Amino acid sequence: MRAVIQRVTEAAVVVEGSIVGAIKNGLLVLLGVEDADNAEDVEWLSGKIVGMRIFNDEEGIMNLSVKDTGGNILLISQFTLHASTRKGNRPSYSRASKGSVAIPLYEAMIKQLEKDLGYKIQTGIFGADMKVSLLNDGPVTITVDTKAKE
């Protein structure tokens, strides 16, 4: 699994003209799933996202997590995170999982994030044409890949 984690002051996702998910202070997480991913990756990545200390404490030092601040998470499925750009100018998405594999893992990630955070998160709609807006705070943007844990 790959995730792009962005600290935001606000973020929203629109599908067919309607807002389906929106947050104020928290994290916008773009999530890409590949066939080699499993429940262990979900658990590890969720813990990493919820525990990542990228919010400022009272001294202005990034020392607090989204859980510490009471912030929320907007999770968006993003198959293009597994794009291969090695050959030519048209990215290949062959490493990205098809829905039969990706949807159950995406849904498991929603449940795991909610369990680790202690409350419901916001989401997009898997496979939909989504319009995502955000106000990146910092900006702080971090990438995490479960296949590069070491």
Rounded to a whole number, what is the distance in angstroms from the first to the last CA of the chain? 14
The predicted model gives 83-91 an average pLDDT of: 85
Residue 150 has pLDDT above 80, yes or no: no
The pTM for the full model equals 0.94
Quote the domain boundaries for residue 46.
2-141
Does a structural domain hold residue 149? Answer: no
Instruction: Tell me whether residue 25 is in a domain.
Output: yes
Please report whether residue 29 resides in a domain: yes
Q: Is residue 14 part of a domain?
A: yes
Gap between the Cα atoms of 109 and 39, Å rounded = 9
pLDDT at 95 over 90: no
In a domain, 118, yes or no: yes
Task: State the pLDDT at residue 96.
Answer: 84
The count of structural domains within the chain is: 1
Question: Which are the catalytic amino acids?
Answer: 80
Answer yes or no: are the C-beta atoms of 105 and 33 closer than 8 Å: yes
Residue 146 in domain: no
